[in-house]
Structure 1
């Protein structure tokens, strides 16, 4: 029994160390950001995106500006039009197919989807529409991007969709949480160690934002964003190691 407890304690200790290093070590190791270190000029083309976090998941919220609406215009053909009146944000998230689709709330948690999330599962994109978002909410992390960084983030999210022979995203028919969301087929395999929050970090790095080396939980990702990036500055994309 004593040896078992010691082994469990050592394992937990290693996990805690790994999670801590995952936040502290920046990715890329040398920052891919180029800023002037001062206030953003009033006439600069700065866009704000939000990282929205829950206890286990993060999403990226884009402002429903004309270019974003055009980028996700394919959703209108599936019954979810980002150009609808009152839409303030288009929200994108990636996750495990079984767990994401079958667990809209914790009350819906079942052993099957949980097992797949902890092993290997297919993946889906979850797209939803929202109105205004309070940037001061504790589960909202605002990021200011210049035009190039913003466009690269949009492109990176778009590349996460699986596509049909005509190059169109593939909607998952009859699957949604409510009237303001849809699920689409996605590229890649899901695992809890390289899940939705790791995907969010990878998307942000495509925009030149530095994250922690490994951030499998929302709190780890947002902590690394606060640690490695200056708030309120425009972020210029410089190609670097992802």
Structure 2
């Protein structure tokens, strides 16, 4: 095979790759603006939840315990460094295990981590964080939902946790926690550039009948609907 033919194949391959990247960027920018409307179940909206982002990952924040769900029974306070028991809220997010453990901020992102995360090459994890209070801001929005909507949300979130033979969440033994109030657990599914941590959070909102983007790989695509 001549050098010219090889060069043509290389250029075509690069063209395809660049085309995919451009298409992804365009869709990643445009599709989040298409809103999936909230579904009103005509029940009293009495349970507060929050969407919270650290600039990379979006979490769904819920009451630690109410009459419908006790998250502390599944996500023990004792699994955090602080081991405090006076937390009132728990934030839960799904994502790539390597991305979560090695990339608390964009500044920590490594090329190898990004490649593995983008192309289904590593495992996933649930990140859980406890909070005593929640304060609304540009990075934290409060949503009031009904009991039925909350039950649907709990079912959606719980289904993503990997479980042992006794149905318990599987703690990831690591020192790479973000603070003294969080912990990581094994999760189901594979992260990719099509199914990101923010895509999961967006789908969680859909499961609870709340406003969401048609599809989004970023936290921005979620929060534009809650300004």
TM-score range, shorter chain: 0.7 to 0.9
Q: Is the 8 A contact 1:117 1:190 kept in 2?
A: yes
**RMSD over equivalenced CA pairs, Å:** 3.1
1:201 alignment partner in structure 2: 202
Q: Which runs of 5+ in 1 are unaligned?
A: 228-242
Aligned equivalents of 1:9 and 1:106: distance in 2? Answer: 23
Please state how far the C-alpha of 1:10 moved relative to its aligned partner.
7.6
Aligned equivalents of 1:156 and 1:12: distance in 2? Answer: 30
1:34 alignment partner in structure 2: 40
Closer/same/farther in 2, CA of residues 177 and 69 from structure 1, 3 Å limit? farther
Q: Is the 8 A contact 1:55 1:218 kept in 2?
A: yes
Aligned equivalents of 2:119 and 2:21: distance in 1? Answer: 19
Please state how far the C-alpha of 1:34 moved relative to its aligned partner.
2.3
Please state how far the C-alpha of 1:157 moved relative to its aligned partner.
0.7
Please state how far the C-alpha of 1:35 moved relative to its aligned partner.
6.0
Please state how far the C-alpha of 1:203 moved relative to its aligned partner.
1.0
Q: Which runs of 5+ in 2 are unaligned?
A: 1-11
Closer/same/farther in 2, CA of residues 199 and 76 from structure 1, 3 Å limit? same
Aligned equivalents of 1:186 and 1:198: distance in 2? Answer: 15
Secondary structure, counterpart of 2:74 in structure 1: helix
Q: Equivalences for 1:102-181 in 2 at 5 Å?
A: 102-120=102-120, 121-135=122-136, 137-175=137-175, 176-181=177-182
Closer/same/farther in 2, CA of residues 64 and 24 from structure 1, 3 Å limit? same
1:18 alignment partner in structure 2: 27
Q: Equivalences for 1:42-57 in 2 at 5 Å?
A: 44=44, 46-57=46-57
Please state how far the C-alpha of 1:128 moved relative to its aligned partner.
1.1
Secondary structure, counterpart of 2:128 in structure 1: strand
The C-alpha deviation readout for 1:56-98, integer Å capped at 9, x for no partner, is 220111123434762331322753499812x131110111011
Aligned equivalents of 1:178 and 1:13: distance in 2? Answer: 36
Aligned equivalents of 1:106 and 1:21: distance in 2? Answer: 22
Q: Is the 8 A contact 2:45 2:144 kept in 1?
A: no
Aligned equivalents of 2:143 and 2:100: distance in 1? Answer: 26
Q: Is the 8 A contact 1:98 1:117 kept in 2?
A: yes
Aligned equivalents of 1:149 and 1:57: distance in 2? Answer: 23
Aligned equivalents of 1:212 and 1:138: distance in 2? Answer: 17
Closer/same/farther in 2, CA of residues 68 and 93 from structure 1, 3 Å limit? farther
